[in-house]
Amino acid sequence: MEKRRIGSSPLESSLLGLGCMSLGTEYNEAEKIIKTAYENGINYFDTADLYDYGTNEEIVGRALKPFRSEVLIATKVGNRAKDDKSGWYWDASKFYIKEQVKNSLKRLQTDYIDLYQLHGGTLDDPIDETIEAFDELKQEGLIRAYGFSSIRPNVIREYAPRSSASSNMMQYSLLDRRPEEQAFPVLKENNVSVITRGPLAKGLLSPKSNKKLSGPGENGYVHYSHQELKEVLSKIAGRFHNRSLTELALLFNASNPEVSSIIAGASSPEQVKENIHAINQKPLSREEIEMLKSLTNNKGYTEHR
């Protein structure tokens, strides 16, 4: 599988990464998915301290331990769990970040994290202090690189130029092209790679598309109404007879040079293999890319603090 460098860091990620959030808490089943990903060319595994209140990190660390040096583990910090685990609240303080990394390292059974990410971000953060925490962790050798995970253009405009972050993780797909105009330019200018999540748009760009559209209720997606979704997906299917929706979705993300890795979750080893098969197909031609862009739109974000 193709590999791409993450920003100016030494990290080289497989073009497709495994999103581990939805693995569940049953270790044996989760391990099968993780090992299938590894054995078929994926070296990037995405988790977070918040997922199942730390259990997800424990599963990922345990499953990857036999080949730890061959993979990249990316985790996140900032969503601070309440003591009774009834919820969480935002904490981007230097103290919390530097304390929480120790817990993540223990759960992951490793002495370093490849990519440590701020799991969000607001304009009310103590931004310089937050950045200082990550820089110090990097100097201390506890993390190899750091990034942030935000869809908010105003937050990205603050963090990207003021830090030495290597990446920003954000939602991006054929059905959510908002980052192209409002985030990608500033990230490119600051040599911050994009790690995309949600490339299959909650299954709308997968073999489950018809089932999703015919399910109960008539929910839309981002700025598309339910009816608009049906129309745009029908048009895409009508123009591309020799490519699956999954193939188009993943290869569209891959066609953007700012993207270093595309994170997709999986509920079974078979789904992992399907996604890997799709990303390994012939890259989209310029004509195919322009056709897909003409069939979709990229309405902008609403700014939030």
Which residues does the annotation mark as catalytic? Answer: 51
Please compute, for residue 83, the number of CA atoms within 13 A of its CA located in the half-sphere on the CB side.
Answer: 0
Lookup result for tokens 């820089």: 135
Distance CA 6, CA 22 (A): 24
CA 299 to chain centre: 21
Q: Are strands 193-197 and 259-265 parallel, antiparallel or unpaired?
A: parallel
Angle of the 127-139 helix axis to the 153-162 helix axis, nearest 10: 50
The number of helices, as runs of H, and strands, as runs of E, in the chain is 12, 12
Residue 130's nearest CA partner among 149, 152, 108, 153 is 149
40: helix, coil or strand?
coil
**Widest CA span of the chain, in angstroms?**
54
Identify whether the C-beta of residue 172 lies closer than 8 Å to the C-beta of residue 293: no
Q: CA 138, 140, 143: angle at the middle one, nearest 5?
A: 40
Please compute, for residue 275, the number of CA atoms within 13 A of its CA located in the half-sphere on the CB side.
Answer: 32
